[in-house]
């Protein structure tokens, strides 16, 4: 029985989320947790989708492409695009999803799923290894999921590595890593939120006070240059301070929340060099820069404060790929 499995990484945004929607730069990196999508031949007349982490076991009729569950709307949109725009026939298959990423946590799980599905589907039908096709299909899924995505999540899921991203331009791949003796912790607040709603709120606030918000957006862009210098020189104290400043800008634009701030301040109070939300905000995840000697202490503090899925990540992981 034919089966193809592909995977794509989650991501964190180190600097620049939200501001990137209006054309500033951001730094994003693929992390060491992935989403796996397996496509298998089936005798059924339906497309069956199984995702234990999402508590999902549902079907889509390959003729109408109407999903049996609202969670499947992005997948249905990708299938429709594959059929109507790319001209490929949609046949019944079983799609199994295994995610190492918490859903709705600002770590790019939906983009990782879209990219992994697109890559697995193209491999399943014997299509050439075209990242451009993967990109086109993935963007359809992300647009259905989030309305007006920045494009960072899709870029990271497909390209992997670490990038400087500016909307409308090709991502600039860069190489950066934490010096020995330092760690980056990700903590899920456990609060799910709609990326679309947060993005629309922040854009609405920016439009209400253009003379002020334009200065904040400029400051966010200038942080990128300082952060790159801090990485290059290994100045982690400065990098942590820049993370705190970026968080202050995000707070000003309304992207933070009480839960986020409580976790950030708990980490800082216990020795973190810097901490900020990553992704849309209002919940989702935070990232915390720490010295390795304090990593266990701060992870325990975050758990005590109610955080979920607290883990360390490495940066610059590979992008979408077919698994052996």
Catalytic positions, written as ranges: 153
The contacts found for 229-238 with CB under 8 angstroms, 24 or more apart, are 231/176, 231/177, 232/176, 234/179, 236/178, 236/179, 236/182, 236/273, 236/289, 236/291, 237/273
How far is Cα 264 from Cα 247, in angstroms, rounded to an integer? 9
Tokens of 81: 């695009």
Tell me the longest C-alpha to C-alpha distance in the chain: 61
Nearest CA to 98 among 189, 33, 154, 142?
A: 33
Question: Exposed, middle or buried: residue 33 (CB in 10 Å: 0-12, 13-18, 19+)?
Answer: buried
Cα dihedral 151, 157, 158, 160 in deg (nearest 10): 110
- Cα-Cα end-to-end distance for the chain: 15
* Residue indicated by tokens 């216990």: 270
Tell which residue, 279, 285, 278, 240, has the closest CA to residue 259: 285
> Is there a contact between 137 and 82 (Cβ–Cβ < 8 Å)?
yes
d(CA 75, CA 80): 9
């Amino acid at each position: 029985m034919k089966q193809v499995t592909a995977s794509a990484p989650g991501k964190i945004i180190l600097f620049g989320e939200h501001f990137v929607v209006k054309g500033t730069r951001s730094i994003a990196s693929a992390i060491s947790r992935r989403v796996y999508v397996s496509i298998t031949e089936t005798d059924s007349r339906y497309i069956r989708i199984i995702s234990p982490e999402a508590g999902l076991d549902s079907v889509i009729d390959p003729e109408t492409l109407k999903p049996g569950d609202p969670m499947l709307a992005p997948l249905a949109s990708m299938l429709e695009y594959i059929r109507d725009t790319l001209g490929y026939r949609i046949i019944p298959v079983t799609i199994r999803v295994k995610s190492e990423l918490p859903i709705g946590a600002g770590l790019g799980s939906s983009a990782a799923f879209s990219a992994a599905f697109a890559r697995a589907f193209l491999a399943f039908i014997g299509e050439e290894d075209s990242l451009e096709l993967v990109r086109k299909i993935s963007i359809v899924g992300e647009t259905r999921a989030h309305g007006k995505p920045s494009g960072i999540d899709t870029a990271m899921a497909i390209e992997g590595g670490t990038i400087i991203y500016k909307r409308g331009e090709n991502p600039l791949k860069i190489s950066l890593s934490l010096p020995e003796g330092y760690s980056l912790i990700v903590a899920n607040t456990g609060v799910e939120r709609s990326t679309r709603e947060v993005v629309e709120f922040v854009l609405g606030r920016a439009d209400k006070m253009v003379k002020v918000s334009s200065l904040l957006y400029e400051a966010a862009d200038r942080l990128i240059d300082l952060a790159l210098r801090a990485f290059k020189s290994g100045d982690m104290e400065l990098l942590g301070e820049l993370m705190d400043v970026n968080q202050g800008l995000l707070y000003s634009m309304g992207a933070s929340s009480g839960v986020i701030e409580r976790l950030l301040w708990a980490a800082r109070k216990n020795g973190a060099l810097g901490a900020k939300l990553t992704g849309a905000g209002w919940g989702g995840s935070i990232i915390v820069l720490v010295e390795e000697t304090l990593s266990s202490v701060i992870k325990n503090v975050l758990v005590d404060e109610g955080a979920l899925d607290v883990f360390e990540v490495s940066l610059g992981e590979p992008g979408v790929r077919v698994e052996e």
